[in-house]
Amino acid sequence: RLGRSRKAHPSRFRWRIRRDSEALQAMERQPSYQEPQAVGFGGMMKNRLDTMTMTQFIVESTSGDQQLALLMNAVQHACKVCANAIKKAGTCDLYGLADVQNATGDDVKKLDIIANTIWVDCLKNSGVCCLLVSEEEEQPIIIEDADKRGPFCVAFDPLDGSSNVDCNVSVGSIFSVYRRKSPEDKKA
C-alpha cells in the first residue's frame, strides 16, 4: 500500500549491534603480535589510526618553523575552500567563461576568478607573505602593511586546468614558495 511508510523493525538494529560487537570481540581475541588483516574491519581501522592529517604533517615536517607552518596551513585552507566551490559549481552556475583574459592571454573562467580571490585572501591574511604572484593577475601583489608582511614570496596558479572543469576532469593548484632575501624593512 502506498499510504503506509515502511519502518525498520527494532530487532534488525539489535542484530546489527550484536553482529558488530561480536566482530570486535573476535578482533580482541587475536594474539597481539599478529597484524590485523588488510581487508575488512580490522584493516580499515588500522589504516584510519595510522593516517596522519595534513595539519599534523605540516607541524611535524616544518621543524619548528612556525611561519612556514602558518603559510602551509593557509595554502591548505585555500585548497579546501576552492574544492568546495568546485564541488558546488554546477548548482551555483559557476561554470563557463567570465569574458575576461588573464595575464598570459587565456580566457578566464568564473571559477578562476573565485579561486584567485580565495588564494589571495588566504595568503594575505596568513601574515607571513610579502609578495604574491598569481597567473590571474597582471601585476604582483605586494603586501604593504608591515604588520601583515612576512618572509615568504608565493607564486601560484590557483586553479590549473580550469578549462577541464566543465568536462569533469581533474584540476589542481600549483604553488611555489620562496624565502625573501631582501631586508624586511624594505618592499619585496
pTM value surpassing 0.75: no
Residue type, 82: C
- Determine the longest span between alpha carbons in the chain, in angstroms: 79
Tens digits of per-residue pLDDT, 21-56?
565 566 556 554 444 444 555 565 566 667 788 888
Tens digits of per-residue pLDDT, 79-95?
999 999 988 887 777 78
